[in-house]
Amino acid sequence: MEDRVKFYAGTAGHSVWFSDDRGASWVHPNSHSGLYTEARVWSLSSHPADPEHLYAGTDMGVFRWQESTANWTQLPSPMQDVWSVAQDPDDPQILYAGTRPAAFYRSPDGGRTWQQQSAPGIKTYSEINKGPTRVTQILFDPIDHDTMWAGVEIGGIYRSSDRGKSWIFLDQGLVSGDVHGLAVVRGASGGKVVLATTNKGLHRSEDNGETWSWQKLDSPWQYTRAITPSADGSMLFLTNGNGPPGSAGRLLRSRDGGLSWEDLNLPGPLNSTPWCVAVHPSDPKLLFACTNLGQLFRSDDGGGSWTRLAREFGEVRALHWRSLPPLAGHQEAARPATWNYK
């Protein structure tokens, strides 16, 4: 029996949508499932050691999906607007949340209790855009086991050397503190490379974030959003366009640790800037991507070719997929009658 692919789209205003067939069709649990239908969902996280649960960072805090009962539960916390959520690779019960205004929180017990973590000098308000800052990504370093990274829009880059208990600010060389995404890979020479995306382009660090250099793209635009390593670490995917939400863009791929990039030619025309890329180690060849204004794409060959999916959403802010064990009896569990089929 093959594992089941579960594909999720977090939207800005229509909650989380679910697909059991790699994006060919979708269902939308309504408010009776525990997460209100118009929720804004910024981030999604799951852990291979815990197939029962999925976590969502939303405009009303962190919610946990339970697969067996098909419902969401709001986790009690001091946070309101959660823009990023992550889990410790070694323990699915250790959760991390990044908020708007920007702050870092950690839960050691699956979200039952939370503690704000030390981040001296973190900016909670931006004089540039006259609004709150927000933590756009929390990332565990795949090379240095105890290191974590976080990007703040608009507030720079933070690094933790103690698995998120405390954070330091790093911005030397950044041409913009409007940080959107982060990735850590092995460079072409074998050393560690940290990459960061901003509204003014891609940045690169080869000294563990102490200094950054701006890396100009061979592109009509320098605006970059997500940067995502392939599941096997051999490639990088970068979303690039003419702004948020934008009206045009490209999905780029690098095979040399981000030194050079090629256009993957998403089937268009695109309605906005490409925004997210979702990968999973259970199948390195299966990828999903989206534009900011809801177009969806799937690749079954590691990014070499792409299919444009029929479904479009108003605005997508998070994509996620995972592989779950097959159900007993080879049949999909019945969905609750409270689900709204669309």
Percent with pLDDT over 90 in the chain: 89
Spatial CA neighbour of 62 closest among 51, 77, 48: 77
Q: Exposure pattern of 128-139 as b/e (b: 16+ CB <10 Å)? A: eeeebbbbbbbb
pLDDT averaged over the chain? 94
pLDDT digits (tens, 9 = 90+) for 186-203: 987 889 999 999 999 999
How confident is the model at residue 194, as a pLDDT? 98
> Distance between CA atoms of 28 and 15, rounded to whole angstroms?
8
pLDDT bracket for residue 328 (50, 70, 90): low
> Distance between CA atoms of 31 and 145, rounded to whole angstroms?
39
pLDDT bracket for residue 31 (50, 70, 90): confident
Contact by Cβ (8 Å): 54, 92:
no
How confident is the model at residue 49, as a pLDDT? 96
Please confirm whether the linkage preceding 245 is cis (ω < 30° from 0): yes
Total structural domains within the chain: 1
Answer whether residue 160 shows pLDDT above 80.
yes
> Distance between CA atoms of 194 and 88, rounded to whole angstroms?
19
How confident is the model at residue 329, as a pLDDT? 54
How confident is the model at residue 332, as a pLDDT? 47
Q: What's the rounded mean pLDDT across residues 237-259?
A: 97
- Decide: helix, strand or coil at residue 330: helix
How confident is the model at residue 288, as a pLDDT? 98
> Distance between CA atoms of 153 and 155, rounded to whole angstroms?
5
Q: Which domain holds residue 173?
A: 4-341
DSSP 113: S
pLDDT digits (tens, 9 = 90+) for 80-128: 999 999 999 999 999 999 999 999 999 999 999 999 999 999 999 998 8
DSSP 12: B
Least confident interval from 53-67, 117-131, 258-272: 117-131
Tokens 């855009």 found at: 129
> Distance between CA atoms of 213 and 148, rounded to whole angstroms?
20
Percent with pLDDT over 70 in the chain: 95
DSSP lists the bridge partners of residue 17 as: 9
- Domain CATH for 271: 2.130.10.10
Q: Which residues contact 318 (CB under 8 A, 6 or more apart)?
A: 8, 9, 10, 41, 42, 43, 44, 56, 276
